[in-house]
Structure 1
Amino acid sequence: MKTKLYYESAYLTHFEAKVIKKDTDERGTYLVLDQTVFYPTGGGQPCDRGQLDDVEITLVEEVEGEIRHYVQSPLLETGQTVHGQIDWSRRFDHMQQHAGQHILSAAFAELFGYQTVGFHLGTEEVTIDLEIPQLTIDEAEKVVHYANEIIQENRVIEARWVSEEEANRYPLRKALSVKGDIRLVIIPDFDYNGCGGTHPKQTLEVQGLSITGWEKQRNNIRISFLCGNRVFKQFARHNQILQKLSQTLNAQYIKLPEKATSLIVKQKEADKELEQIKSELLKYEAAELLNSCEVVSNQSRLFKRFKNRSIKELQQLAKDVVEENDQAVVFFVSETAEKTQLVMAVGKAVNSVQANMMMKKVLPYLDGRGGGNQHFAQGGGNKGADVESLFELVRELF
């Protein structure tokens, strides 16, 4: 016996039915009823949730022609009469979003000829995929304005069962994906579309529609939007954020962009000034380090280990040393919790040492990788290296 699904009962939240089958599959234990108003997942719309007696329904799917109600507790049995209750807030939210999708897709089609080729109704946002390579802000604004006009006109949303032949007499927005009896969802003189989802009776119940953004998705444009109560929730969230920002930045919300831009400019200037100060400090540090060089055959050799020093600072410090003394050879090691990093710099007056060749010989002891040129090289490898042994190795290579 196949389940009878009441497609026209979008507003029906309570019903009685008999359990005609109880079984399990890979999703868990499920019940099949002789009749139900639970909408199963399909057509881009998630399923209804609710209860059968006191048992929670976690998932509803149509499998092999039967509507399976998956339950958390296997208390109900075959032959038992149960009372079903739909989670109305979830149902009505889906009704608003799905009807809003019809209106939005029809508006894109009517204004610009853009066709919808994908639809997904999520818990946070709804998306449609348009078969176009790009979308402009002006087009989006015009579509939203038109869609909300349709909503505010409180047009009828009618669900009608017709034959395939009858369906093809209507100006369908897209080709039918099923045969036999067809369920059309109709907004007269605006949209005609084959659909099995739940919808309100009037467009005004959608309340309002807002596009929240769009992005490139393969060869299409994916539009994100909200309808109904989700729009109001988003407005409330955004209002709270604006109030907090206004307090934090000490500016009226209408002046927040100007205030934020000013702060960003000041921060960039401060960062630039800080970098200049750091650069000057590194030059002083380089000059100080030169006093501790080992001098061998008129060559100044500097070996230094650091803890948690950034590689960027070490690079600049090494370059500052060899710029100050073109007969210097620098070998720096920085030890961090993750790795050991090496920097080598060779002054321009030194011809007997090539930084990249020296680094190539040292890195195998760290199981590391790196590279560079004759005067500068860097690399990194395993943490916990014996730094003093590395220094001795480099001295031997010299």
Structure 2
Amino acid sequence: MKNLFYYKDAMMKEFTAQVVKTGKDDTGNFIVLDNTAFYPTGGGQPHDTGWINDVEIIDVEKINEEIRHYTAADVSNISGEISGKLHWSRRFDHMQQHAGQHILSAAFVELFDMATVSFHLGTELVTIDLNVGEVSEDQLAAVEKRANEIILENRPIETKWVTKEELAQYNLRKDVKVDEDIRLVIIPDYDYNGCGGTHPTSTGQVGLLKILATEKMKKQIRIHFICGNRVLQQLAMRKQVLSDVARQLSASEEEAANALRKFTKAAKQTEKSLTEAQDTLLEFEAKELAKETVAAATFENRSIQSLQKLARFITQQNGEAIALLVANNEDKLQFVAARGSEQTKSMKDISAAALPLINGKGGGNDALVQGGGEKAITAEALIKAMKEAVQ
């Protein structure tokens, strides 16, 4: 473990090694070397990618004490000495994020005694889960400020292999779960932590840390954050989105939030007015249909919500009425059946008669049912069957 290239020199971008064997398993074709700078998936950190000679390496995993370098290419002719080259921007990004996680987690402990219980390094964001039920905005601001102070101070990031007995000499942020090959990642006078991942050689190389969001996870809080080059990428993306929103609102970027609030308020008022107008039309439509004891009608492209509302208006205007409504929509038939307050007929009987005809599903109660299914018959034929069920 100690002699692996990615542990001896995390900044190593290229290397030479000897092929131990090649093979194929359920994951794919693989190459095993006598040493490697490719980091395998583990400890919350994703695997490296890159090239062995001219062969692209797409995955690296530790299987039965072997580090297998997976590729889609044929590996049967690869032997002897090889040249390895990492996809360096990917590796360095992972190192920035992982070191940033150490710094952030230590800041939460130092300032508020909040421990990190899990860590995930995603392709866009990084998360840690804290062992607390809530975190205030002031606490987040203080932790972010402290983390960036440590980054700006450009402290060294050291690694050290120790025995289980030597652990007592260090003020560890959390307990170490292994008894052998114990590797500490140390930011002097700040953080001491057992870790098998890769990190840059100083905190300054993390660049910058930004907390983006929090999320409630049962009894824990998940912190979403980014470091280094990802901050620039997120800033560019958010700048583009903000500029687009501001342009569509005919406002400056500084006034985009206020303009959006005004637009949303106006849109809600318009939506309310439109709903009221639609209800007025439905009530007028219901007035004609409510003249019949069995008020039956078919419609083209009418939502189930509109059918339900129309049925309620009909039965409110005529307590003796039964409303039978069918909509012929794009890919299915939908229906609603409702009864007035003076009717005793169960609408479940209507649903039971209608659903088998359209291979459909539905629900409701004795007073109102709804359902939908295939266009196995016409809307008119479905209405006819529902009328027969009433009779």
Please report the TM-score for the alignment, with normalisation by the length of structure 1.
0.88
Shift in Å, 1:91:
1.2
Q: Equivalences for 1:257-336 in 2 at 5 Å? A: 257-289=257-289, 300-326=293-319, 328-336=321-329
Cα separation, partners in 2 of 1:369 and 1:230, compared to 1, 3 Å = closer
Counterpart position of 1:338: 332
Pair 1:167 & 2:161 matched = no
Q: Equivalences for 1:367-378 in 2 at 5 Å? A: 369-373=362-366, 376-378=367-369
Counterpart position of 2:185: 185
Distance 1:221 1:284 in 2: 52
CA-atom RMSD in angstroms: 2.5
Counterpart position of 2:106: 106
Higher Cα Rg: structure 1 or 2?
A: 1
Counterpart position of 2:195: 195
Shift in Å, 1:71:
2.1
Q: Deviations over 1:19-51 (max 9, x none)?
A: 111122211121111221111111111111111
Distance 2:82 2:38 in 1: 13
Q: Deviations over 1:70-126 (max 9, x none)?
A: 122124646421111111111111111111011001101111111111111111111
Task: Point out the more displaced range, 195-204 or 323-332.
Answer: 323-332
Counterpart position of 1:297: none
The one of 354, 359, 383 equivalent to 2:374 is 383
Task: Point out the more displaced range, 11-20 or 159-168.
Answer: 159-168
Please say if residues 212 and 225 of structure 1, whose CA atoms lie closer than 8 Å, have aligned partners that are also in contact: yes
Q: Equivalences for 1:244-263 in 2 at 5 Å? A: 244-263=244-263
Task: Point out the more displaced range, 238-247 or 321-330.
Answer: 321-330
Counterpart position of 2:4: 5
Cα separation, partners in 2 of 1:76 and 1:269, compared to 1, 3 Å = same
Distance 2:140 2:235 in 1: 19
Please report the TM-score for the alignment, with normalisation by the length of structure 2.
0.90
Shift in Å, 1:390:
4.3
Letter in 2 for 1:219: K
5+ residue gaps, structure 1, are 295-299
Question: Identity of counterpart residues, as a percentage?
Answer: 42
Letter in 2 for 1:127: T
Letter in 1 for 2:336: L
Q: Secondary structure at the match of 1:36?
A: coil
Aligned length: 385
Cα separation, partners in 2 of 1:393 and 1:52, compared to 1, 3 Å = closer
Counterpart position of 1:90: 90
Q: Deviations over 1:177-229 (max 9, x none)?
A: 22234221111100011122111111111010011112122432221110000
